[in-house]
Structure 1
């Protein structure tokens, strides 16, 4: 079961490329972006150790079920709705950004709204499946796509176009203290562990999380590549000109492998798969949080048939996502995402501390 925890970690780590995280860090490269890279693994590791330690004491239970043991129902319902909105929005900003990206790099004549509708229909249908099915889909998605992304990252690091002088210039700003926005962006890469809030329902009694020390190291390596590779390709000043930084950076690389020449096409196809998996996962978590507010809805990890409530909730999510695209643009989306990243960081800290304190109370003799 440890591998399912790893897959969720990798999913969020790789999807940070689509969440404006590289652009936010690069925009603050002279004002704390570098030091945030060092602070983020420490913060992420502490929160991850606390959260996994707490959730391990409640095998088979999700975050809402744990809160119901100690807190009034109205508070649990309010918290669940808040978390549902957070998860819905985390997936929405990704799928909306990718729909715009397809319009920008693949087919400029295509209607962005039509592209988004096709994507949200596929993601919503997949999200309506059982939690166990979602875990299997994430596993398949990571096994198929992660090696290709890691290969592209490796080729970029080894590329002769990479200018290490630009990287060294920016690295010298490591002494500048990080800001809240840089910490919020950098710590996102370690947020995959928070999926355990509901996927903990799948874990059997006496389960133990193993090799947790690997996650901060792996996340730190991915974070370094995420930040420094675009700087090495575009220079210390030119790197600030792009919003979809990694899409442009991948277009700077050429491979001589038959039908694969422009790496951007391979990059976008792979991230199309991961975007759908990430949206499916986020909407499924949001849906489960909403369902936990109703007494009639009991948590099931492998229901043979999707309840009607699943389709109703996901229809609301999908409709809200399309409306978000219609009433916003790239600049507004970037601004909202920046505020959401800060809100997410503080929400994550409070949520982890909350369940950790509750798990310590459980050890006290009654």
Structure 2
């Protein structure tokens, strides 16, 4: 069961390449990004250890059930509705960005709204399945796509086009003071642990988290590659010209393996799969948080029949995602995402401390 925890962590670590995290960090490469990465790794490691330790004391229970044991139901309902909005937005930003990417790199003549509707229909239907089914889809998606992503990252690091001098120049700015937006962006790569808020329901009694040292090591490795490799390819100044910097970085790689030459197409196809999986998982969690606000709701991890409420809630998510694309553009989306990352950091710290305190209280009561 430990692998299911790591799958969620790995999924978010990979998806940050498609989010605006690399672009945000690169914009501050001379003014605090490097030191912010160090602090982000430290904060992420602490949060991972605290949250896994706390959730291990509540096997089989999600965050809504844990909070309802010690807090008023009206307060928990407000908190769950707020978290549902946070989870919905986290995935909507990614799927909207990917719809724009498809329009830009695959088919410029296609309508971005039509592309997004096709994506959200697929994600929405999958999100209405049971929690256990969603976890199985996450597992299959990562088993298929993670090796390809790791291979692309390995090829990028080993590429002869990578300028280590450019990387060294930016790394020397480690003494620049960190900024809050960079710390929030850097710590996002560790945020997969927070999915335990729902998927902890799948963990059996007497479950123990193992190999937790892997999380900070893996997260730090992906974060450093995410930030430094584009700088090595595009230079210390040229790298700031791109919004979707990793798409252009993948396009800088060549492979001589049969029909695969331009890595960009392989990269985008793989991330299409991950975007669908990530959005499905996020919407499912948001849906369960909304349903937990209903007093009579009893959570089921593998319900035999899909409730009608699942389709209604996820349908609203899909509609709001399309409206978000219509009402925003890339500049506004970037600004909103930057603020959302900061809010997310403080919300996660609050949740982790809250649940950790409750776990200590429960241990003393026992």
Same fold (TM over 0.5): yes
- Name the structure 2 match of 1:25: 25
- Name the structure 2 match of 1:76: 76
Give the alignment of 1:10-21 within 5 angstroms: 10-21=10-21
- Name the structure 2 match of 1:343: 343
Give the alignment of 1:39-78 within 5 angstroms: 39-78=39-78
2:22, 2:365 → 1: CA distance? Answer: 48
Q: How large is the RMSD of aligned CA atoms in angstroms?
A: 0.7
1:49, 1:109 → 2: CA distance? Answer: 47
SS at match of 1:255: strand
1:225, 1:365 → 2: CA distance? Answer: 45
- Name the structure 1 match of 2:279: 279
- Name the structure 1 match of 2:93: 93
- Name the structure 1 match of 2:298: 298
- Name the structure 2 match of 1:213: 213
Query: Cα distance, 1:179 vs. partner?
Result: 0.5
Query: Cα distance, 1:364 vs. partner?
Result: 1.9
- Name the structure 2 match of 1:120: 120
Structure 1 segments, 4+ long, off by >6 Å, are none
Query: Cα distance, 1:258 vs. partner?
Result: 1.4
Query: Cα distance, 1:130 vs. partner?
Result: 0.3
| Partners of 1:124 and 1:315 within 8 A in 2 | yes
Query: Cα distance, 1:57 vs. partner?
Result: 0.7
1:19, 1:27 → 2: CA distance? Answer: 14
1:71, 1:284 → 2: CA distance? Answer: 24
1:325, 1:154 → 2: CA distance? Answer: 34
| Partners of 1:126 and 1:280 within 8 A in 2 | yes
1:365, 1:260 → 2: CA distance? Answer: 60
Structure 1's unaligned 5+ residue stretches are none
- Per-residue CA deviation, residues 189-232 of structure 1 (Å, 9 max, x unaligned), is 00000000110000011000000011101110111100000000
- Per-residue CA deviation, residues 279-325 of structure 1 (Å, 9 max, x unaligned), is 00000000000000002221000001110000000000000000000
| Partners of 1:41 and 1:217 within 8 A in 2 | no
- Name the structure 2 match of 1:315: 315
- Name the structure 2 match of 1:252: 252
1:194 aligns with 2:168: no
1:59, 1:181 → 2: CA distance? Answer: 34
- Name the structure 2 match of 1:176: 176
1:224, 1:49 → 2: CA distance? Answer: 21
- Per-residue CA deviation, residues 103-131 of structure 1 (Å, 9 max, x unaligned), is 00000000000000000000000000000
1:296, 1:118 → 2: CA distance? Answer: 34
1:242 aligns with 2:242: yes
| Partners of 1:22 and 1:227 within 8 A in 2 | yes
Query: Cα distance, 1:40 vs. partner?
Result: 1.6
- Name the structure 2 match of 1:167: 167
- Name the structure 1 match of 2:142: 142
SS at match of 1:155: helix
1:63, 1:335 → 2: CA distance? Answer: 30
1:230, 1:69 → 2: CA distance? Answer: 47
2:257, 2:13 → 1: CA distance? Answer: 27
- Name the structure 2 match of 1:228: 228
- Per-residue CA deviation, residues 153-184 of structure 1 (Å, 9 max, x unaligned), is 00011111101110000000011121100000
1:167, 1:155 → 2: CA distance? Answer: 17
- Name the structure 2 match of 1:362: 362
SS at match of 1:364: helix
Query: Cα distance, 1:365 vs. partner?
Result: 3.6
Give the alignment of 1:93-112 within 5 angstroms: 93-112=93-112
